[in-house]
Structure formats: structure tokens, C-alpha cells
Amino acid sequence: MTDNPTPPKRNFPVLTGQSILSQVAWTLGSPSIVLPFLAVSLELPMFIAGALVSVRMTGSMISDVFLAQAISARDHKKRGIALTEIAIGACLVMALVVAATGVVPAIGVAFVAAFFLIGLIEEIQALMFTDLLGDHVQSKSRMIMRYLQLGVGGLGAIGLALLVHEITKENPPFSRHSAVIAVSVTFFVLSAVVILAMSEMTRSSQPKDKTQPARKRKFTENFTDIFAMFSEAWFRRYMVMRMPLVVVSLAVPFFALIAAEAHHASAKGLTAMIISSASGYLVSAPLWQMVNLKSHRAVMVTGNLMVALTGAALLSMHFLGIDHEVHLHAIALFIVTVAVTGVSSARKLYFLDVAPKDQRVKGAAAIKSICRITGVIVSACLAGVAHMHEVAWAIVFIVTVSLIAAILCYRVVLPHAKQAVAS
């Protein structure tokens, strides 16, 4: 028996199927699009609706800082991932139940709690998946799986969104939104069931010495582990590129927020936003897969420029007062979803290529911790700007940073994926 046995072949279709189901669930219950849309329709203050991004990031940051070591130490992760899928669905159900009461202060508290827990659980799941896929799926297969997830999952979400829209189009807004989220919860449960079918290997055939109890980590070690990563050249280089992408990732929720502000009362508003974002995932699959096979850098540079140009076009129409059509916001959200999805996928794949195996989880946790802290601060500031002035000014900032990010990605990221491995 070897220390690194070949993963069972059935794991690839099982994990691909699970990722597709999860993609449908996340698209229909998106914390970046659907829940902010629901928050605005329930008349929550714009500051709270915008600050939900910060709340979600705070939960994710706690997972990165305090739970990464424990997650890395676990040999088996599929059951943990299944439980996180069910827990996220439970958070959505809790938010809906409280929203049904119609009490705005209670709804605000429920949404803040739901977003915090979703951020916490989502990041636990992401850290588990980082290690699980790294151990069980090869680099090229990871890329194929990612784009199948986006393509098939996006197509499924479009079909379900249209079906739910046709069934509930005569219902009041809350009923329509609740139906979409209920379908999302169902797919989270299905995703949890499917991943249990994979065959998970242990990392080593050597039995663990259970006679020596694990040393209890000091509180400060959670932070020293992060600072220690800066001694690694690959980590410093990656962070130069990664930091501006924190702001770029805020494009989708703030583009959705400006759309919700204008169209939350429309019967077609939420459906149009879901379809546009799902279509973005669908288009992302063949588009970015073709480019990513040759160059991670090309994907990131192009995606950042797409965010900047789309934001500039939407801002021009907004300040000219000609952006009242739902379709204009839907098109803008579609392009930004394509762009951000491409950038996000490319940077994750680039990370898996450049990060040494023994530093993979610690590196991912350190990067995410720093980025989450930055994201919490920036998104809270942008939420304040949206509340005191309007969402458009937040998008001005995102457009500016997207241009800077495009330049940095061009200068830092190696042009070919194969070269990234060598670094």
C-alpha cells in the first residue's frame, strides 16, 4: 500500500454532480443577489442591505482565522461538507420564517444572523473543499469539474427560475421570492446527499499515534500562522495580485443592490437578476475554460477590464437617467457575473498551481483572512456611501479599483498555467 493511492474513478462524476447541485442551490439562494433583493423588498434600510456583505465576510473571516488548523487536521471531510450544505439551507429557512412575520426590526436581526452564519459555514466548506479536491482530483480534472459546475449548474438554475416565475407570477413579491429560496434549500439538501457517495481516502496508510494527545493551540498562534506565510515568496507575490480583487468581488452584490433599488417591486425583477447571473455562469463555462487552459493571467486581466467597462457604462446611463429598464441592469449583472466568475475561478486555479501541498490550507486560510478583513472594511464603507448618497458612488470606486487590478494581474501573474506550476 502506498501513501498516495489513486483516487477511485467514480469520485470525479460524484463530485461533479454534487458541485452542479450546489451551484443551482447557490444561484437560486444567492446571498449576493437573491437575499439582498429580498431585503430591499422588505424595506430594510439600505445601509443594512449593503452591510450584509460585510456581515457575511466577518463570518468567513472567523472561520479562516480560528478553524483552518482544525479543518486541515481532519482526514475525512465529506460528511462535514454534507452538514455544511444542510446548515446553509437551514439559515435560509430561518430568514424566510422571520421575514414572514413582517416585523422589520426582527427581519433585520434575522438577516444579519443568517448572513453571518452563512459566511461562517460557507468558509468552513470552502476550506474543506480546497483540501478534498487537492487530494482527490488532478489539476486538469479540477478545471473541467469547475466549468461543468458553472455551465450545467447555470443552465439548471435558469430553467428552475423560469419555472418558478411562471408558477408564482400572480403571487405577491414575498411569495415569489420565498418559492425561489425554497427550491434553493431543496438543492442544498440534494447536494449534501450526493457527496456522501464519494469514496474518501486517508492521507496516509500509517496509523496515527493516539497515545499522544494533540497539543492545545494558543490563541495567538492563529495570527502568527498568518504572519509566517509572508516569509514565503509565492505567498507575497500572490497577495500583490489578490488584494485589489477583494474590491472586484464586490461588483456582483453592489450591481445587484442598485438593481434591487430600482426594480424590487417589479414582478420580473428578481427573475431577471437570477437568469442574468445564471446565464453568466453558463457563458463562463466554455468562455473561460478555453482561455484558462492557456493562461490564468488572460482570464484575470480580461475579467477586471469587463467589470470596469460595464460599470462605467452603467454609471453613464444612471447619471443620464436612462437606466430605468430591468433589462439594462440584467445585462450589466450578466457581464459582471461572467467577469467576476472568470477572475474568481482563475485565481483559485492559479493558487492551487502555485501553493505547495504542505502549505495549501494554511496559505488559503491566511489569504482569505487578510482579504476578508479588507473586504469587511471596504464593503462597510461602500454600504455607508450607498446609504448616505446612492449605490452608484460605490460602483464608481469598484470601477476604479478594477482598472488597477487589471494592471497588477498583468504584471504579477505568469502568462501560462504550466509556468505557474514551476514557480
For residue range 138-173, what is the model confidence (pLDDT) as tens digits?
Answer: 767 777 887 788 788 888 999 999 999 889 888 887
Classify residue 85 by burial, with Cβ atoms within 10 Å: 0-12, 13-18, 19+. buried
Spatial distance between the Cα atoms of 77 and 80, rounded to a whole number of angstroms: 5
Q: Which pLDDT value is given to residue 219?
A: 56
Residue 218's pLDDT band (cuts 50, 70, 90): low
Q: How many CB atoms lie within 10 A of CB 363?
A: 23
Q: What is the pLDDT of residues 98-112, one digit of tens each?
A: 988 888 889 999 999
- Residue 382 confidence (pLDDT) above 60: yes
| 3 pLDDT above the threshold of 60 | no
**Mean of pLDDT values over 63-71:** 74
Phi/psi at 284 (nearest 5 deg)? -60, -35
The distance between the two most distant Cα atoms of the chain, rounded to a whole number of Å, is 71
- What is the distance between the alpha carbons of residues 302 and 351, in angstroms, rounded to a whole number? 18
Residue type, 178: S
Residue 423 vs residues 122, 236, 300, 417: alpha-carbon distances, Å: 30, 13, 18, 10
Question: Is the separation of the CB atoms in 40 and 380 below 8 Å?
Answer: no
Band the pLDDT of 413: cuts 50, 70, 90: confident
7-11, 55-59, 207-211 — most confident range: 55-59
The overall pTM is greater than 0.95: no
The residue ranking higher by pLDDT, 372 or 182, is 182
pLDDT band at 8 (very low <50, low <70, confident <90, very high): low
Residue 419: the pLDDT is 44
d(CA 156, CA 159): 5
Residues in the chain: 423
pLDDT of residue 5: 53
What is the grid cell recorded at 360? 495549501
- Kindly report which listed range (178-182, 187-191, 203-207, 401-405) carries the lowest average pLDDT score: 203-207
Both ends of the chain: CA-CA distance in Å? 31
Instruction: State the Cα–Cα distance between residues 258 and 321, nearest whole angstrom.
Output: 13
Q: DSSP state, 165?
A: H
| pLDDT single digits (tens) 85-138 | 999 999 999 999 998 888 888 999 999 999 999 999 998 888 888 778 776 677
| Residues 297-337 pLDDT 10s | 899 999 999 999 999 999 998 888 876 677 888 899 999 99
Torsion of CA 215, 218, 223, 229, to 10 degrees: -30
- Are the C-beta atoms of residues 160 and 25 closer than 8 Å to each other? no
E strand map for 228-387: none
In which band, very low, low, confident or very high, does the pLDDT at 264 lie, cut at 50, 70 and 90? low
The CA-based dihedral angle spanning residues 8, 363, 288, 140, taken in that order and rounded to the nearest 10 degrees = -30
Place of cell 490563541: 219
Instruction: Please name each of the domains of the chain with its CATH number.
Output: 11-200+223-422 (1.20.1250.20)
